[in-house]
Structure 1
């Protein structure tokens, strides 16, 4: 019988599986963006969206190989714990190479915020003010510099907004606004916080 995965259980699982502060930060930023979008999506289960965002990359550190690992291991663990099938499917759909279509608002949103969160964090990390005052225009400018945050999939960043039917600048501004309240905890305010 499917059951919601409580946030405290999800956080404990993430801490057990992920030791990298940067990957933890990424998962926390995706969680925040997912929760913010869920709050403005009719009939969305905010906690389900939140925990899906938090755990979407939980197996990446241990099993990074796309051919055999991520995200299959976290999907299997969630299935073992009786997580809702829509949560497992959303995590599958964020990995292009699994060829799982993005049909639900939660699936589309996870894809749309995943790479963008990584890029916004990268932009914030090189600014004295961190995420404070970061603009969509500045993010777009950095996207045009291939050497900056080179691992981020630019095509996914751009197509995410389109998938949600949103203007790119609006989408970026929305994600920045979702992350800004967490700036100190996520070391994004230029003063040096910690991921706890």
Structure 2
């Protein structure tokens, strides 16, 4: 339940902190992929994601403060976390509605 700030449930385990840190970011990364011509995470760069994070009009329902708080609670750099989550999502792209390279 600690995966959302509005629940008031403390994130007192690594699992809870990790779930919180990845929840909003996963949705944001899917949004980033869906606006790309290939609709894929295969060539999505961390710098592109960071640029989109600054654009408040893009994926406006994604809470950027939660993304930042998540990386702070994990104690990792934003760039490293974005890269890690992109890499984790790549093998399951098809299952989450994206188009991995080499597919149509």
Aligned to 2:49: 139
CA distance in 2, matches of 1:151, 1:126: 16
Listed as ranges, the gaps of 5+ residues in structure 1 are 1-91
1:149 equivalent to 2:59? Answer yes
Q: What SS does structure 2 have at the residue aligned with 1:149?
A: coil
**Are 2:4 and 1:114 aligned?**
no
Write the distance in 1 (CA, Å) between the matches of 2:50 and 2:20: 18
Paired residues, number = 101
Deviation per CA, 1:85-119: give whole Å up to 9, x if none.
xxxxxxx1112122111110011001000000000
Q: Distance in 1 between matches of 2:21 and 2:32?
A: 17
Unaligned runs of 5+ in 2: none
Q: In the alignment, is residue 175 of structure 1 matched against residue 85 of structure 2?
A: yes
Q: Does 1:126 align with 2:35?
A: yes
C-alpha distance in 2, partners of 1:138/1:159?
A: 20
Cα RMSD after superposing both structures: 1.4
TM-score w.r.t. the length of structure 1 is 0.49
CA–CA distance in 1 between the matches of 2:31 and 2:48? 12
Larger Rg: 1
Q: TM-score w.r.t. structure 2 length?
A: 0.89
For CA contacts below 8 A with separation 6 or more, give which structure has more relative contact order: 2
Q: Tell me the CA shift for residue 169 of structure 1.
A: 0.5
Kindly provide the CA deviation profile for residues 14-72 of structure 1, in whole angstroms up to 9, marking residues without a partner as x.
xxxxxxxxxxxxxxxxxxxxxxxxxxxxxxxxxxxxxxxxxxxxxxxxxxxxxxxxxxx
SS of residue matched to 2:69: helix
Shift of 1:175: 0.3
